[in-house]
Structure 1
């Protein structure tokens, strides 16, 4: 127990930025912060901008779909070729593509050129995890720190991304304020925000430029293929993570808010308050996951925090009153995201250094695609009945994922856990 206290205190898990953070890790976290900020406002402004250009709902939908598909393919491609290239150079190239994406959306106004920019660019309309930068940053961060501090570092990575993205959404009203205060046309003010997105890409390049050779795979670790000895582990995790994401798609925030509107008649302000506090609890849970994982292990932390969260979700439709439903949702929020930094840390731990970019992209992209399938079914169920079947089904699928993950991977321990426990 004394050793545990020493480790936890040394990690300073409660600090947003721990002392002694490696310089390379600091630059990557800073880059993550400003990119998430940019994703936050562009995710909200993209449909507004396209409407201002005169596109109809169908055209906007195809452009958004192209950004999603393009982001997924870029993420997967980056992971599959990164074992042959410098991670630092690939990050710099990604920043240049981000800058070009901002310039493209600022200057191009016709449908087909915008569609091309959306497909090949870095714009992320969901402000989510799938991004060209993801496999490169995950692999680079894993190289900057010793294994026992890896989970704490990824907790900061998740926390900073969440908070910066939230701040970015608060910047979304800026075009209207600029237009009202300066007399500029609203379209011009919106274009300025996409120009800002491109400039943030340049700023990220300046942050990644000082990265040292420490972010690269160790000398002699180059592999002839993206995945080698860990292929079976990565594909197994990919399948299980996709089940979890498919279940999560049944309870995305917009559909959860719709269910609350239907069943309790709450106001938009009340729904926003519930989601706001849920987001804060989720963000705090990233840091809380660190000492729990140190004590109980990554897989146990992922499963035994996620499982009760999913039981809470399944109980929400049976809640006799709004306060009970809110209580269950807040408990779920406090527990359900502890698996985010632990999941990333686990994937990076159980593969070789050269396989890390491929493992990050292969486990993230199918997860994102799976999550895009279930909202349609969820909306159909909510149209049939006011009972919260999507919450029950989503919670059950995610609970099944927890149990399957425990059965399949409990014995596959990260090196630091295998050394610590017999």
Structure 2
């Protein structure tokens, strides 16, 4: 199977990428503060840690369902329409979070809307954004384009995490603590509308699959299914330590304040963000798969170490080292998937490798919440690290020999 893209692809359409990156920045900024605020908000509403874990799992399950739909529709509809629909859904989600606080309603919002306890990388619209990035960048620059895409999202998400401390400042205006949090959810809605303005600047083009009469997945089906199975293991592991649950663990074990948590997740996001360009350079030298695996394993060891650390400073230091390493597989993974499939298959490939991830990740937050509630302490962190190491070793064994076209 030979991908249709060659190194002599047309020049990049930088304006479309700038618009896409700008929209992602707004989306990830909103996801960044919602992921940290949401557990604190739910605690103040009186919900248990188990209930919070279930809601996080429902949110990931909803994202998986939406992403699956985006993957099927991506080959049949113009990408811009789907991007605009996601932005308006984000606006509706923020408005609903600001207006309702009944648990059943919040569960419905989590499933139908864009509530994202894992940050922007788990968004349902990511498969379509990946297809746009791969379409607008040539093969030689694809990994760097994904690194920039991930960098923008991570920086915006880290600033969003820092902004999660804003309710403490808004209380000085006379708002109650809950009122200040609801104001932040209203801001999330406004960011969705802002994202729509940028998505509107992505060029409208006929769907490639519709033009060529191609199936959603053709020659690359076997490769995609194998990757999806492995990525699901990684995502199931990551679901034990989604950002909202990691914040909850730090709140409970070390009595960390909301403002301090915001600073920590800001620093984590900054370290993750600047690891993306480094990952692109490493991939140029060592290959995409090697970069994914040999940066991921040390990060998992740091997470396991943090689980057993008794000092807050040591725990945060290990988690920050993890943050500097754990996300290097994000741009390399995205680039690899787009490289080993044909162009018409890209939306479906991005969806079929992300949907099982979201489904698998939706199972573990509820388990992690139950472990926390049962006094399981740091067990979710240990489970996460051990399962991720197993994933890395399996990925290396199965795909080291299958290289992207530009790797020769």
Q: State TM-score, norm by structure 2.
A: 0.80
Q: For 2:195, which of 177, 194, 204 is the aligned residue?
A: 204
Find the counterpart in structure 1 of residue 183 from structure 2.
Answer: 192
- Aligned pair partner of 1:32 in 24, 27, 43: 24
Q: How many residues align?
A: 394
Q: 1:321 and 1:190 mapped to 2: Cα distance?
A: 30
- Residue 402 of structure 1: aligned partner: 392
Q: What does 1:314-333 correspond to in 2, within 5 Å?
A: 331-333=321-323
Deviations 1:263-322 (A, max 9, x none): xx8977999887665544332211101111112221122123223444555667799999
Q: Which residue of 2 aligns with 1:15?
A: none
**TM-aligned CA deviation for residue 351 of structure 1:** 1.4
In structure 1, the residue matched to 2:95 is 103
**Larger Cα-atom Rg:** 1
Given that 1:143 and 1:216 are in contact with CA atoms closer than 8 Å, whether structure 2 keeps it comes out as no
Over 3 Å counting, the alpha-carbon distance change for 1:337 and 1:301 in structure 2 is same
Q: Are 2:101 and 1:145 aligned?
A: no
Residue pair 1:130, 1:365 contacting (<8 A) in 2 also: no
| TM-score where L is the length of structure 1 | 0.77
Q: Which runs of 5+ in 1 are unaligned?
A: 1-6, 8-19
Partner of 2:148: 156
For the pair 1:411 / 2:405, whether they are aligned, the reply is no
CA shift in 2, pair 1:124/1:222, >3 Å: farther
State the SS of the aligned residue for 1:132: coil
Between 281-290 and 99-108, report the one with greater CA deviation: 99-108
Match of 1:43 in 2: 35
Structure 2: where are the runs of 5+ without partners? 1-6
Please state if 1:235 is matched with 2:225: yes
Task: Pick closer, same or farther for the CA change 1:326–1:48 going to 2, 3 Å.
Answer: closer
CA contact 1:29–1:157 (8 Å) conserved in 2: yes
Structure 1 residues 364-373 or 72-81, which shifts more?
A: 364-373
2:170 corresponds to 1:178: yes
Higher relative contact order (CA 8 A, sep 6+): 2
Question: Which position in structure 2 is the counterpart of 1:352?
Answer: 342
Spell out the pairing of 1:80-95 with structure 2 (5 A cutoff). Answer: 80-95=72-87
| CA distance 1:236–1:62, shift in 2 (3 Å) | closer
Q: Measure, in 1, the Cα distance between the counterparts of 2:178 and 2:361.
A: 32
Structure 1 distance, partners of 2:198, 2:363, is 36
